[in-house]
Each structure stands twice: as structure tokens, then as C-alpha cells.
């Protein structure tokens, strides 16, 4: 087996015609697909030389600024801008830049590259663990997590390894550093009774279709939110997954999935198709799960994550991540006899080996059950556990709607045992929704902070309302929204969704969807 080439050096192969071809990634297009260039040569050595020259034209040759005594921060910036950034996606760029420019360079950037020692890095770890967090300190504490510290280490270790290759330093000081232990997050799945309670609660809160579809397909969160109605063929039940939604610096982006295997077609159960067919009649958007506040945009991953935690808490289920719904689907599929190859294709894994590696515990249980079946086939008596002989009773669960709060008083959510979050989200006169949060250790303290926040935002909003009274409908309103706006302006005393819908000539669902936004634009108290 030939020597494996390092990342970023490109690939070299011999073609069928006897010539050698070298290929290197020079960047990514707006869809996230790699852009490549290639060279051809008669011999392998000649091809490698041509490929090296090509890389230098793409990344730039070594400049006089690159020297052993240069500050480590300058080398880190040079390494990232020339060797890393052109070859990674926007989401990965944001992660790298946060690590490099917010944590590593401010702490280690002034140390000369050839004087950076292992003790400097170890002291850096300690500082990051005790006081490295820059945001959300009330929620997560002052120190960075073990996984974040390990991520910082991985970033500058790669940069220092490149410095060794460029003969700027003799050895890599990051090699051999003592890192925080790697603790993989335990996979959690919802049991059958928990699933029943979860879906009942989700239906009560208007998120039944979203979570039902995810539990029946195992889609990643970004893939689920990127679905459009054109992706579903109601006649055949085939759902096409060919894009994903993600956030970069607060901006919602839509791109192709992370791998080619993630682009796939799934066949939905007939019952799920029928649920989505009925749901389609209530959705006035090309997106399957549109944002309630941004026109013609899907829901944001953060909003879905927060809603999941609220539903889990009210349904009395264990606290899990959104990705654990994917694990729940996979576990149930394997337990009910789906073969690993089919499941791997449905999940969008590159190979079945990935699926087997993740769900080893499930396949182990399946092997145990298979052994028991063989034993029974041979005439031996196998004692079954109570869990095998008794079926769990159907969940007798009534959905929790939560404590009713007065309109305009915000909401309070318990995030964990020692932290409460208060949120106030009024609609501004221009139709946009503005949200602000407060945090406190007790509900009483959170209520006090929230009241102060509401007073501040109401005063700011009222000042804008005074300027906006009597204005004509903004041009950005859709035709349907303008109908509702016109009717509500001429009938200020009408507050019934049904009456507004009848008067504006729209559906009740559409009237309810835009009611609060338009009421805010008209300057009426919310």
C-alpha cells in the first residue's frame, strides 16, 4: 500500500492510458461542492512536481513574512487563510475562526513561533477551563467545555504540524500535551410509552407533523427543516432529501447535504403521507415547516431545539437532544427487523459500517434474541423476562398546555435545575418580531428581571408606534397580508379570527397566522 498523502496535498493516480493525474481541491462553490484542478504527466515524479506547483499557485508561495521568529498568531492566521479556509465549508469556517481569533490568538498570539513551548499550551488549557467562555456565562459557567478545549488543541496542532513541514520549527510542541478526557455523549432514545406521550404533547402544541416525520425517517435536523412541498410526491409517498438548513453567524443558509450519501429518496408510510396531506392544506408556504415570523423562510434549528425541550418537559420524558430522535428511529427500526444495509441508506450514512459502529448495542441485543430463537427451535426451554412477556399498556396521558400567562407578559422556561430563562417577543410596528432573554437562578428572580425587560421594550415600542400611526400598508406585505391589514384597519373592534377571515376573504388559519403581526403594525396593544 502506498504512502497516504496528507490533507491538502491532493491526490495522485495512474490513468488507464498510462499517464499520471494529480488533482487538488482549490475551494468550494456556493452550494458547498468542491472545486478541483488537475495536472497530467508521463511519470509519477513529474506529476508530483506539477501538483506541487499547482498548489503553490492556489495557496501562494512561501513569503518573506513567514519566518521562524514570527509571532504565533501571524503564522496561525497565515496557515488558516492560505491552507485551510479555501478548502472548507462556511459552517466549518465559522468554527475555525471562532477558535482561532476569539481564543487562541488573544492568548498565545504574541509568543514567537519558534519559542512556543508545551508549557505555554498546558497553561492555555487551564485558563480556558476556568475562564475562557465569552458568552452565556450565566447559562453554562465561566469555563469552556472539555470538547471545546480539545477542539482548540486540534486546530493549532494542525497549524504547528504545517510549520514543522515548512521547516519553521523542529518539533511540534502540541504533540504529547495532556488534554481533558474525551467523554462521548451517551446515546439516548425514547421508550415506547415516552414516544406516545411525546407525540400527544407535540400535537397539542402544533408540532405533531414535524416530529412525526422525523421519527419515521431519522432525518437530521437541518435536512428536516429544509424540506419543501415539491420534495414530497403524495401519489408514491417518496420523499426526496437533497438539501439542508444551517445557521452561520445568525444567518440562515440552505445548501446541499454534507455527503453524497445524504442525498437520498425515502418511502414514507401511507399513514404519514395522509397526515402530511391534511397538514398541507393549512400551510401557506413552499416550505414544509415554515418560520412563523419570517416570510418565505423555514424554521430555524435553534427554534426547533427549544421547542423540543419544552415538549419533552411537559410530556414527562427524559431530556434528549434533537439528534437523539434520529437514534430513536434507528433503534426502533433495528429492533423491528430492518436490515442494517437498508437502515444505513435511509440514514444517509456513507457505509453500513458506520451504522454498525453507532448501533452496536442494538445489534448485540438482536444477536442475543436470535440465539434464543435458535435455542427454542432446538426444543430447549428459554425463560423469558417479564419485559418480553408483558406488553406495556398504552399511555393514558393528557397533554400539558402550560400555565396561561396574560398576553404581553412574556414566558418563563426552566432550562435546568438551577437556571430559568425569561423571554419577551413583541411585534415591532414594522412587522418584525424582536426577542430578548433574561436569566436567573430562581423563577421569582426571573419574573422580576422579565418585568423590567418588558417595561423597557414596551417604552421603546410605544415610541415607534407613535410615529407609525395612520401609515399605509408597507409595500413588503403579500397580497394575502394586505387583505387582512385592510380589513383590520377598517374594523378595529373585530378580534375574532373567524370574523377577520370572513371579512378579508382568507382562511381562518391564515388570519390567525398573521393576526399578531398586523395588529402590531396598526399600533394596537398586544
pLDDT in tens, 478-489: 888 888 888 888
pLDDT surpasses 80 at 431 = no
Buried b (16+ CB within 10 A) or exposed e, 201-239: bbebbebbbbbbbbbbbbbbbbbbbbbbeeebeeeebeb
All three cell numbers of 35, joined, read 472545486
Q: What percent of the chain has pLDDT over 70?
A: 82
Contacts of 158 (CB under 8 A, 6+ apart): 79, 84
Interval 266-311: pLDDT, tens:
999 999 999 999 998 888 889 999 887 776 889 999 889 999 999 9
pLDDT surpasses 70 at 526 = no
pLDDT for residue 387: 43
How far, in Å, CA of 471 to CA of 464, rounded?
A: 12
Interval 190-220: pLDDT, tens:
888 999 999 999 988 889 999 999 999 999 9
How far, in Å, CA of 510 to CA of 500, rounded?
A: 10
How far, in Å, CA of 11 to CA of 396, rounded?
A: 60
pLDDT for residue 513: 86
The DSSP bridge partners found for residue 241 are 264
pLDDT surpasses 90 at 119 = yes
Q: Which long-range contacts (CB under 8 A, 24 or more apart) does 299-302 make?
A: 299/225, 300/225, 300/245, 300/247, 300/252, 301/221, 301/222, 301/225, 301/245, 301/246, 301/247, 302/247
Q: Which segment, 20-29, 67-76, 252-261, 382-391, is predicted with the most confidence on average? A: 67-76
pLDDT-derived band at 476, boundaries 50, 70, 90: low
pLDDT for residue 473: 52
Mean pLDDT of 99-119: 93
Q: Under a CB-based contact definition with an 8 Å cutoff, are residues 289 and 210 in contact?
A: yes
Helices (H) and strands (E) in the chain, counts: 21, 11
pLDDT for residue 493: 76
pLDDT surpasses 50 at 391 = no
Q: Choose between 402 and 50: higher pLDDT.
A: 50
pLDDT-derived band at 389, boundaries 50, 70, 90: very low
Q: Under a CB-based contact definition with an 8 Å cutoff, are residues 382 and 300 in contact?
A: no
Is the full-model pTM beyond 0.85? no
Q: Under a CB-based contact definition with an 8 Å cutoff, are residues 243 and 226 in contact?
A: yes
Question: For cell 397539542, what's the residue?
Answer: 204
pLDDT surpasses 70 at 368 = no
Percent helix, strand, coil in the chain, to 5, is 50, 15, 40
What is the overall mean pLDDT for the chain?
81
Amino acid at each position: 500500500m502506498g504512502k497516504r498523502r496528507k490533507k491538502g496535498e491532493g491526490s495522485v493516480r495512474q490513468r488507464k492510458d498510462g499517464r499520471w493525474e494529480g488533482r487538488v481541491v482549490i475551494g468550494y462553490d456556493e452550494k458547498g461542492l468542491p472545486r478541483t484542478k488537475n495536472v497530467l504527466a508521463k511519470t509519477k515524479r513529474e506529476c508530483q512536481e506539477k501538483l506541487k506547483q499547482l498548489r503553490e499557485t492556489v495557496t501562494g508561495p512561501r513569503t518573506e513574512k513567514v519566518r521562524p521568529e514570527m509571532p504565533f498568531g501571524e503564522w496561525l492566521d497565515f496557515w488558516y487563510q492560505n491552507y485551510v479556509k479555501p478548502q472548507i465549508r462556511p459552517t466549518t469556517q465559522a468554527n475555525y475562526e471562532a477558535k482561532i481569533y476569539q481564543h487562541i490568538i488573544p492568548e498565545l498570539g504574541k509568543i514567537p513561533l519558534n519559542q512556543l513551548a508545551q508549557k505555554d499550551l498546558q497553561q492555555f488549557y487551564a485558563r480556558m477551563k476556568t475562564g475562557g467562555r465569552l458568552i452565556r456565562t450565566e447559562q453554562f459557567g465561566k469555563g469552556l467545555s472539555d470538547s471545546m478545549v480539545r477542539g482548540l488543541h486540534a486546530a493549532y496542532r494542525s497549524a504547528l504540524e504545517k510549520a514543522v513541514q515548512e521547516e519553521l520549527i523542529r518539533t511540534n510542541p502540541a504533540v504529547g500535551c495532556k488534554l481533558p478526557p474525551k467523554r462521548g455523549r451517551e446515546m439516548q432514545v425514547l421508550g415506547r410509552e415516552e414516544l406516545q406521550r411525546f407525540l400527544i404533547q407535540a400535537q397539542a402544541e402544533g408540532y405533531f407533523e414535524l416530529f412525526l416525520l422525523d421519527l419515521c425517517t431519522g432525518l437530521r435536523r437541518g435536512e428536516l427543516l429544509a424540506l419543501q412541498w415539491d420534495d414530497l410526491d403524495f401519489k408514491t409517498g417518496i420523499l426526496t432529501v437533497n438539501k439542508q438548513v444551517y445557521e452561520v453567524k445568525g444567518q440562515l443558509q440552505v445548501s446541499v447535504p454534507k455527503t453524497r450519501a445524504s442525498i437520498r429518496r425515502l418511502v414514507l408510510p401511507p399513514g404519514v403521507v395522509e397526515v402530511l396531506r391534511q397538514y398541507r392544506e393549512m400551510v401557506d408556504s413552499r416550505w414544509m415547516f415554515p418560520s412563523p415570523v419570517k416570510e418565505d423562510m423555514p424554521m430555524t434549528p435553534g427554534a426547533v431545539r427549544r421547542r423540543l425541550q419544552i415538549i419533552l418537559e411537559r410530556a414527562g420524558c427524559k431530556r434528549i437532544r434533537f439528534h437523539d430522535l434520529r437514534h430513536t428511529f434507528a433503534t426502533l427500526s433495528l429492533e423491528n427487523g430492518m436490515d442494517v444495509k437498508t437502515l444505513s441508506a435511509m440514514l444517509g450514512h456513507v457505509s453500513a459500517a458506520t451504522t454498525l459502529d453507532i448501533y452496536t448495542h442494538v445489534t448485540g441485543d438482536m444477536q442475543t434474541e436470535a440465539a434464543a430463537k435458535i435455542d427454542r427451535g432446538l426444543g430447549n426451554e428459554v425463560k423469558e423476562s417479564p419485559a418480553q412477556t408483558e406488553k406495556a399498556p398504552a399511555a393514558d396521558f393528557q397533554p400539558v398546555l402550560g400555565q396561561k400567562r396574560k398576553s404581553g407578559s412574556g414566558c418563563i422556561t426552566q432550562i435546568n435545575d438551577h437556571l430559568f430563562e425569561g423571554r419577551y417577543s413583541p411585534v415591532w410596528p414594522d412587522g418584525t418580531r424582536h426577542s430578548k432573554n433574561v436569566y436567573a437562578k430562581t423563577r421569582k428572580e426571573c419574573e422580576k428581571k422579565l418585568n423590567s425587560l418588558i417595561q423597557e421594550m414596551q417604552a421603546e415600542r410605544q415610541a415607534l408606534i407613535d410615529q407609525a400611526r395612520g401609515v399605509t400598508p408597507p409595500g413588503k406585505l403579500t397580497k394575502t397580508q394586505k387583505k387582512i391589514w385592510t380589513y383590520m384597519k377598517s374594523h378595529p373592534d373585530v378580534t375574532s379570527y373567524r370574523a377577520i377571515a370572513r371579512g378579508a376573504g382568507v382562511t381562518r388559519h391564515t388570519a390567525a397566522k398573521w393576526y399578531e403581526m398586523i395588529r402590531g403594525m396598526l399600533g394596537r396593544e398586544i
